[in-house]
Structure 1
Amino acid sequence: MPYKTLLAVIQNTHDIDRVLDHVLPLAARLRSHVVGIHAEPMAIPYTTAIGFPDAEYMQVTADASKERAAELGRKFGTRATAAAVPHEWRTMESLSGDSALCALASARAADLVIAAQRDPADSGAASTNVDHLLFETGRPTLFLPYAGPVTTTFSRILVAWNGTREASRAVFDALPFIMEADQTEILTVDAPEAEDEPAKVAGADIAAALMRHGAHVTVAEESSAGIGVGATIENHCVENNTDLLVMGAYGHSRLREFLFGGVTRDVLRSMPVATFMSR
């Protein structure tokens, strides 16, 4: 199934170009409709040193937020119109001002959500709740790394396969991209021996299923050798010139990953290439 409704999450002026550089050519190629969404923080009551409400400060803050949202909307509309892509722009206010949180309802009606990874050096990056796009929408999300080239046609795809429900969903959600790719590699890392799937054939069934769709598929196996599964996957991407990583998200609970770490969190922090996730 092609992606006909794309939701572009625009956090701020720093990531709008990166998101649109990917979304608009993709939408033009797939003849998709693009919904751009952005949120601004609500004006928080502020008092003077003697305890009186500072109405002037609050008004200035509110005006600045409205102008910022309007400027992003103008840029989005101008670029989408120039690309001849059908589009609409949605803005809203929330206490957090986090566009990812405010995008949840819109995301549930989209075929694919697209958001930029925040620069880890950005002090505000921690407030971006991209986890919610994965946990609360049921829709696949394509994350664009904050650095490096942006491509809209993925020729070399790596599927991080561990046989879980999340991994299976990600693979079939990404099928439109996999069908277009020159090569898709199924990678298993530290594949365990299991009664229903020996380690030496892990990934073979999903590879065969994709080949029946006409995809060009190979299978590889690696050991993490003490550096961690996430780092092993990322290194494999770099070494093999991968331009899209496909993987299931949060096979463990979000609390467990928050407390102890996990592959999803590792990749979201340091993704070397565009990363397609489903849960």
Structure 2
Amino acid sequence: MHDILVNTARFDSWSRDAQYGVRLAALVQAAVTGVYVYPSPLYATPEFGTPDVIETLTDMSRILEASALGAREAFVDWAASLGVGQASWMVAQGNLADALAQIACWHDLLVLERDDDRTWSKPEDIAGLVLQVGVPCVVVPPRPVGGVSLARIAIAWNGAPEVVRAVHAALPLLQRAEEVLLVRGLPREPHHDVVWKPPFDIDGYLLRHGIQPRSQDLTTTGQEVGEALLEHARRFDADLLVMGAFGRSRFSEWVLGGATRHVLWHASLPVLLHH
């Protein structure tokens, strides 16, 4: 894992996603990019705004842009003080989701914060990124960020392609863990045209990469799966939960599956998701 992207909602202080992402980059010796996105003044312009109103909003946007660009040195110095050798700072004007989806393509991991009151007003907002961005995302819960540890990592496993991609993306983190817990749920139904003989062996795959997990069966089904996953992670005292982001497209919306939605919105630990 070489390049970590962190979104920050402000630049006069650093939000939780920036704090976690920079500390994670220092831990795994990765480069980090901080990104601040602000809306176009046209987005804030009233439908029947006068020229004076439009000019005022445009001037405010220019001031904000200049201040944001001026935060580059502060971000790089702050990252260096936490042990990150390579840090960069980007500013974008436009829609937050669109901007992050574009710049994430250059990175191995995107770190976001779950913010009930500000950036993400409902699960579907962050789901649009997790399901479309194309890179694994770590979602940081709304609690203070102290140190970042990868000593104990839990994996929510059911054999689905989304989980395989999440585990593959998390390998550099899993290899640093002292203990890994594999929470085995009921297998997803395979594609009706493809039957693998023998089935994919997750234990053998992890062992080839130097990871020997403990196993715990998850017999819960239905709406309780997400709650049960978080309970297993809590009992294991996990520092990170790795899972697939299950969802589907409904017209222009991305809709999360029930377990993913529950974990995303109720987790008290960082969650690495991949679609």
Whether contact under 8 Å (1:41, 1:65) holds in the other structure is no
CA-CA distance at 1:17 after TM superposition: 4.0
AA aligned to 2:78 is: R
Q: Report the 3-state secondary structure (helix = DSSP H, G, I; strand = E; otherwise coil) of the residue aligned with 2:165.
A: helix
Gaps of 5+ in 2: none
CA-CA distance at 1:177 after TM superposition: 1.0
- Is 1:241 paired with 2:230? no
Aligned equivalents of 1:58, 1:170: Cα separation in 2: 42
User: Which residue, out of 150, 154, 173, partners 1:177?
Assistant: 173
Deviations 1:218-250 (CA, angstroms, capped at 9, x unpaired):
111123266521111111111221111001112
Aligned equivalents of 1:115, 1:273: Cα separation in 2: 13
CA-CA distance at 1:33 after TM superposition: 1.7
- Is 1:62 paired with 2:61? yes
Whether contact under 8 Å (1:160, 1:233) holds in the other structure is yes
Counterpart for residue 109 of structure 2: 112
AA aligned to 1:92 is: A
Gaps of 5+ in 1: none
AA aligned to 1:86 is: Q
Of 221-230 and 135-144, more deviation after overlay is shown by: 221-230
Give the alignment's TM-score, normalised by structure 2: 0.81
> What is the root-mean-square deviation of aligned Cα atoms in Å?
3.4
Aligned equivalents of 1:162, 1:209: Cα separation in 2: 14
Counterpart for residue 186 of structure 1: 182
Q: Report the 3-state secondary structure (helix = DSSP H, G, I; strand = E; otherwise coil) of the residue aligned with 1:247.
A: strand
AA aligned to 1:12 is: R
Whether contact under 8 Å (1:187, 1:219) holds in the other structure is yes
CA-CA distance at 1:137 after TM superposition: 3.3
User: Which residue, out of 11, 20, 29, partners 1:31?
Assistant: 29
Whether contact under 8 Å (1:10, 1:36) holds in the other structure is yes
What percent of counterpart residues are identical?
23
Deviations 1:26-51 (CA, angstroms, capped at 9, x unpaired):
32343322111111011136469995
Could you say if the C-alpha distance between residues 90 and 208 of structure 1 is closer, same or farther in structure 2, counting changes exceeding 3 Å?
same
Q: Report the 3-state secondary structure (helix = DSSP H, G, I; strand = E; otherwise coil) of the residue aligned with 2:226.
A: helix
Give the alignment's TM-score, normalised by structure 1: 0.80
Aligned equivalents of 1:228, 1:91: Cα separation in 2: 41
AA aligned to 2:2 is: K
AA aligned to 1:30 is: V
- Is 1:230 paired with 2:229? no
